[in-house]
Structure 1
Amino acid sequence: MAAAYGIHLGNSSASLASYSNGAPLIIANDAGDRVTPAIVALNGTEWEIGLPAKSGQPASKSIIKHNKRLMNSDFNAEDLTYVETSSSCRIQNEEKLVYEFETSETTLYSNPDNIATKIYAKLFTIASHAMNNEGDLKLVLAAPLHWSTASTERLIKCAELAGFDVLQVISEPAAALLAYNIEESVEDVNVLVYRLGGTSCDVSVVKVSGGFMTVEKNIYRSDLGGQCLTKDLADYIAAEFKQKWKLDPQESRRAMGKLLIHADNCKHVLSTLNSAHVFIESLLDGVDWSQNVSRARFENIISSKISAYMEPAQKVIESFGGQIHKIVICGGSMKIPKLQSAIANLVPEAEVLSGISPDEVIAVGCAREAGLLLDIPEFSLRDLNTEVEFLGKDIYMKYLDQTVQLFKEGTPPYAQNTHSIDAGDAKSLNITLHEDPESEQFATESFNVETLKKPLTLKATLQQSNVLLQLE
């Protein structure tokens, strides 16, 4: 029996979710963590993926971080420089992009696709261990909205080489909406999707109408991410250390590497607790460092950057010009309460959806989509471009002495509409459908309503060639 999974592989971390018994569920890795660092390292002659690659002694490893940036076929010089400066392996970009992993024991060469495959293979192992039965691991992936088809195809190939059977690739904003079942909304809603990851920021306004999602506006920023806040916290701790010991960690790449790891852990702890303890063994010249950091202190450190993080959201909202009904926050950096309150204050009248941990939202949406697709196995969505015919004219219904507009012109197929009907003491009800109130009927349906509970509820579903009417 096939199992449904969703994966979001980001620049900094990866999240894996399954779909079973009608609900998505995040799967923890072998360390018990719900999120796996998207980091790969060569330690001696052994490959390390996830937490082992992130922890330990970074100086003894050859490490690649933020590999997803270079999975984009349209990456630029800024992306290349960012990955190169944050990693400890050499990157050659002549005819082909090649990573050179060099340790004291060996030198190995790889590329972005191979590294992505290793991360997917790690997630495949985690998913396999979580399965109670043997079967195919069906997968839905999320890709950034600005990626080309060639880039998403590379993502699919890497996941398939790792062992997954990829059903579909959906956009990250669509996955975020699916996580909260927003596409099932009866009324038309405009949703602001704000994603802040480790190294980038995506803001979209998505219109949901009749089960269809349309991205109206989008801004992508590669210069905004949680890493900037981690760096500010690390600089603060370094300054405290220097003030006490008259030694400057900023002058040592090894010391700052340690500081950044501990600052990142501290940042995540402060997302849920009011205080975090930082202990760094042998930070510089054999001197240990121990310090408590309060959430208030951290918020004060990052306060000057809050307006910069809100700027793309403000621009998208102003450009859209319409009312925002809901806000979905996603991305690991949006766990920070200060950022959550800032985005909520931009649109005070909108409902902020934050019931799912932000770094798990997109994976949960992908898993839910995978579960839905398994219910219709004959329906293939590997082709990302699908033609859909929308309703060309209004449809009205008439019953008793009432005339009601059932569907508007432009309504998508499989849209549904419900209508309350007061049939009085009538034992039967005759409903006719018309293209306009004065035209001849093109369909009619009769119902025996004698035994039905009053008032009646009519559910109409717009199908490809007809309208399905059901009384409840």
Structure 2
Amino acid sequence: MTTAYGIHLGNQSACLASFTNGAAVVIANDAGDRVTPAIVALNGSEWEIGLTAKSGQALTKSIVKHNKRLMNCDWNDEDLSYVESSSSCRIQNEETLTYEFETSETTQFSGPDNIATKMYAKLFTIASHSMRNEGDLKLVLAAPLHWSNESRDRLVKSAELAGFEVLQVISEPAAAILAYNVEEVEDDINVLVYRLGGSTCDASILKISNGFISVEKSIFRSDLGGQCLTKDLAEYIAKEVNQKWKLDPRESKRAMAKLMHHADNCKHVLSTLNSAHVFIESLLDGVDWSQNISRARFENIISSKISVYIEPVQKLLENFDGKINKIVLCGGSMKIPKFQSAIANLLPDAELLSGLNPDEVIAMGCARQAGMLFDIPEFNLHDVSTEVEFLGKDIYLKYLDQTIQIFKEGTPTYAQNICSVNAGKDVKNISFSLHENPEEEEFAKETFDVENITKPFTLKATLQHSKILLQVE
């Protein structure tokens, strides 16, 4: 069984998932974590990627964070300023963007694309170690909805340089829907996809009809993200330190860097547990800091921000006449229960899908899409950016004394329909005929030998460009 992979590389973290034996699963990294920090650092003369780059961020390290912002060809001064303030390396903005990594041992230069390649190379190593058999690592990537094709191509090239074979790039909201198999519903529905990442958020309304996903409305915000909540928590701890020891960590860049690191870890712990312990060795002037923080305290700290974070959803729903049937949440910051309940309360009649970890949802959707591409017969995996064609008429299937509609008008190509066929035990073969109208003659007919098949069995129909492929399973 071929294994397909899906990757979501975000501003703050990256997640790798695989699809095999009909299921998508997240692959843990070498530290046992299911999510890898999207951080690259030069420590001395050695490159560190992921958790090693994040942990123990000494002043000797030259670090870049939120690199994905500058992978967008349409980046602006706000993006550049954000990456500069978050990182400890200089950024040269002349003909091209270049990071200057300077340590006590060496100075090296690297561009955003090269940093992305280093991240993908780390994930390639993780994926390679998970494979049972040698072979190409085929991959589907996710990109923000508002990115141009040129920006998406940069992601593809970075992943290919790391060793992956990229099958397709899909939008992050579409990947979130695929992770929950929402596109398989029979009725036409509207789905709200809300992603709250480390430094950005976006909300989208997508319509699902006959397995086809279309974007109705979308809002992107580059000023909202989980990093704002981390800062609020770090500020709270700094005030507690100042009150007890009369020392202000906010006056020390090194102390605040430590505080931000531990506050971020604390925030993620409180997303799943009711309390978290913060211990910071030598925070300021040799003083160690130890403190327990409850989820209730954390929720009280961020309570004033909740209305700000649900504002994109409220704006999206303005002048939208349809009904939201389902809600899909993704992005690491959406693990916070207070935010989940705030979105659910905003749309009490919609079903909130929360069975998957929000920071793993997009990667799992990409993996599932990669698995479906392998399952499509005679599909050219190198031609995935062509325009979508739609069926012009209803298609009916006749067999024995049954007549069913297998595809509706407007169904996109490569859609599939699986139906159960209940035939008598003594039936040796069955003829299936296809009709544009039940009363008209068939335009195609195929007969299958079913004598040795366990009954009932399934018939899978795949809508292709010029024909409908029938397969008995």
Same fold, TM exceeding 0.5? Answer: yes
Aligned to 1:208: 208
Tell me by how many angstroms 1:370 deviates: 1.7
Tell me by how many angstroms 1:250 deviates: 0.9
Q: Give the SS at the match of 1:191.
A: strand
In 2, distance between residues paired with 1:104 and 1:459? 63
AA of the residue aligned to 2:94:
E
Q: Give the SS at the match of 1:134.
A: coil
In 2, distance between residues paired with 1:72 and 1:332? 21
Structure 2 matches for 1:231-270, cutoff 5 A? 231-270=231-270
Taking only aligned residues, the RMSD between alpha carbons, in angstroms, comes to 3.3
Structure 1 residue 190 corresponds to structure 2 residue 190: yes
Aligned to 1:16: 16
AA of the residue aligned to 1:256:
M
Aligned to 2:88: 88
AA of the residue aligned to 1:263:
A
Deviates most, 254-263 or 21-30: 21-30
TM-score (norm: length of structure 2): 0.88
Change (3 A) 1:404 1:169: closer
In 2, distance between residues paired with 1:316 and 1:228? 22
TM-score (norm: length of structure 1): 0.89
Indicate if the aligned counterparts of 1:430 and 1:444 stay in contact, CA closer than 8 A: no
Aligned to 2:129: 129
Q: Percent identity?
A: 75
Structure 1 unmatched runs, 5+: 422-426
Q: Give the SS at the match of 1:169.
A: strand
Deviates most, 402-411 or 249-258: 402-411
Change (3 A) 1:241 1:447: same
Aligned to 2:392: 392
Aligned to 1:40: 40
Indicate if the aligned counterparts of 1:38 and 1:65 stay in contact, CA closer than 8 A: yes
Tell me by how many angstroms 1:317 deviates: 2.4
In 1, distance between residues paired with 2:90 and 2:460? 61
Indicate if the aligned counterparts of 1:58 and 1:257 stay in contact, CA closer than 8 A: no
Aligned to 1:52: 52
Indicate if the aligned counterparts of 2:212 and 2:411 stay in contact, CA closer than 8 A: no
Deviates most, 206-215 or 335-344: 206-215
Tell me by how many angstroms 1:16 deviates: 0.8
Tell me by how many angstroms 1:440 deviates: 5.4
Q: Give the SS at the match of 1:206.
A: strand
Structure 2 unmatched runs, 5+: 422-426
Structure 2 matches for 1:106-121, cutoff 5 A? 106-121=106-121
Indicate if the aligned counterparts of 1:169 and 1:382 stay in contact, CA closer than 8 A: no
Indicate if the aligned counterparts of 1:2 and 1:136 stay in contact, CA closer than 8 A: no
Structure 1 residue 372 corresponds to structure 2 residue 372: yes
Q: Give the SS at the match of 1:58.
A: coil
In 1, distance between residues paired with 2:404 and 2:168? 38
Structure 2 matches for 1:348-427, cutoff 5 A? 348-376=348-376, 378-383=378-383, 385-393=385-393, 408-413=408-413, 415=415
Change (3 A) 1:418 1:17: closer
Change (3 A) 1:431 1:105: closer
Q: Give the SS at the match of 2:292.
A: strand
Indicate if the aligned counterparts of 2:2 and 2:20 stay in contact, CA closer than 8 A: no
Q: Give the SS at the match of 2:109.
A: strand
Aligned to 1:317: 317
Deviations 1:374-421 (A, max 9, x none): 334752354553233323345678999999977654333455679999
Q: Give the SS at the match of 2:139.
A: strand
In 2, distance between residues paired with 1:341 and 1:351? 12
Structure 1 residue 159 corresponds to structure 2 residue 159: yes
Change (3 A) 1:399 1:96: closer
Tell me by how many angstroms 1:212 deviates: 1.1
Tell me by how many angstroms 1:13 deviates: 0.4
Matched pairs, number: 466
Deviates most, 80-89 or 279-288: 279-288
AA of the residue aligned to 2:194:
Y
Indicate if the aligned counterparts of 2:167 and 2:384 stay in contact, CA closer than 8 A: no
Q: Give the SS at the match of 1:277.
A: strand
Aligned to 1:305: 305
Deviates most, 90-99 or 160-169: 160-169
Tell me by how many angstroms 1:373 deviates: 2.0
Tell me by how many angstroms 1:442 deviates: 5.8
Indicate if the aligned counterparts of 1:2 and 1:137 stay in contact, CA closer than 8 A: no
Aligned to 1:424: none
Tell me by how many angstroms 1:237 deviates: 0.5
Change (3 A) 1:400 1:32: closer
Q: Give the SS at the match of 1:320.
A: coil
